[in-house]
Structure 1
Amino acid sequence: MNRWWRLLRHRWMDRHDSARAVPDDMAERLTRRVTASEARHTGEVRLVVEAALPTSYLLRIGPREPLAAVVRDRALAWFGRLRLWDTEHNNGVLIYLLLAEHAIEFVADRALARRVPPETWQAIVDRLGAQLRAGGFEDGLTQVLEEVSALLVQHFPSDAAAPGENELPDAVLRA
């Protein structure tokens, strides 16, 4: 029965739910924060808020493939689709929120993943989850952008003499 409820929940939710979670004015403020963050380091940050999984992903969830693995695969798919893997310094970060499952996933490209241990990413995810559960959607996302930015500044600071080019759009993607 749980499988059917999950399927209905995901089919019921759509892009409008993402727009309600992150209204236009909030999306604009978050986009400005991403832009300001990227001025301080050479990394690329993308924020994706997706309402629901496609049916093909939902049908994979089961005893052999748990929800967490499917959510990770979806985040990796977005990482590839948005070309975060294709940045000059291999230091892109995807912050992925799946509204239907209240799931959060981070994907860091190779160069950054080598420098930041998984426990650090998990701690950031845990803090974001607590903020979201408390109703602080914008505050939580702002905090996480600051934390990710601090990691990127620590490991990949921008060179003031030769600032890097913005390789990818900064806009929040609501799907």
Structure 2
Amino acid sequence: MNFSRWAKHLFMPSWAWRRAFPHAALDAIEAAIRQSESRHNGEIRFAIETSLAPAQVWRGMSGRERAIDVFSNLRVWDTEHNSGVLIYLLLADHDIEIVADRGIAAQVEQSAWESVARAMEAAFRQGEFERGALTGIEQVSALLAAHVPPRSSNPNELANRPVIIRS
């Protein structure tokens, strides 16, 4: 067990996400997702979690493991063409995870998702959280447009509003 990580999660204020993502930033992220989904047949969800619950940290849950849980809980997998993508931020760990459903994961290399995460991290390190989020959405959208172009019927299957997860 990593006591430093445990303390970081335990003492991270639950409202810390607001410093990085005020309501105007959440609105911009929602608008970017809505606009991007007209260019492809994928669905994007954006989730922000300030910290993990103490028991999750105690068990050694990684950001990737938590992102997969969130992917499932938000039902990102439940799209007609299995083309949902979750962009997950775990603020206490400074972690960005991108989880793609099997329909798109079979077509896009993991290294492409990791490249998107690195671009987001670069902006976040400069304190530009909104720009980093929008960059990530744009790059995920470009990957989706290349692999799952829009069809005549392209319903919005998942909510576009970023979700704030409170542990």
What TM-score do you get using the length of structure 1 for normalisation? 0.89
Amino acid at match of 2:158: L
Partner residue, 1:92 = 84
Amino acid at match of 2:129: F
Amino acid at match of 2:11: W
Select which of 151, 154, 167 maps to 1:164. 154
The 1-side partners of 2:13 and 2:106 are apart by 35
| Runs (5+) with no aligned partner, structure 1 | 62-66
Partner residue, 1:64 = none
* Higher mean C-alpha deviation, range 81-90 or range 16-25: 16-25
The 1-side partners of 2:3 and 2:133 are apart by 31
Deviations 1:46-80 (A, max 9, x none): 1111100112220122xxxxx6xx21110000000
**C-alpha RMSD over aligned residues:** 1.4
Q: 1:26: how far off?
A: 0.7
* Alignment partner of 1:28 is 2:27: yes
* Alignment partner of 1:115 is 2:122: no
The DSSP-based 3-state class of the residue aligned with 2:97 is: strand
Partner residue, 1:153 = 145
The 2-side partners of 1:174 and 1:152 are apart by 24
Instruction: Indicate conservation of the 8 Å contact 1:15/1:174, yes or no.
Output: no
Query: Structure 1 residues 81, 14: CA separation in 2 closer, same or farther (over 3 Å shift)?
Result: farther
Higher helix share: 1
The DSSP-based 3-state class of the residue aligned with 2:15 is: helix
Q: 1:14: how far off?
A: 4.0
**Bigger Rg over Cα:** 1
The 2-side partners of 1:15 and 1:77 are apart by 20
Instruction: Indicate conservation of the 8 Å contact 1:33/1:142, yes or no.
Output: yes
The 2-side partners of 1:34 and 1:99 are apart by 21
Correspondence 1:12-161 to 2 at 5 A: 12-61=11-60, 70-159=62-151
| Runs (5+) with no aligned partner, structure 2 | none
The DSSP-based 3-state class of the residue aligned with 1:106 is: strand
The 1-side partners of 2:121 and 2:9 are apart by 20
Instruction: Indicate conservation of the 8 Å contact 1:19/1:174, yes or no.
Output: no
* Higher mean C-alpha deviation, range 119-128 or range 24-33: 119-128
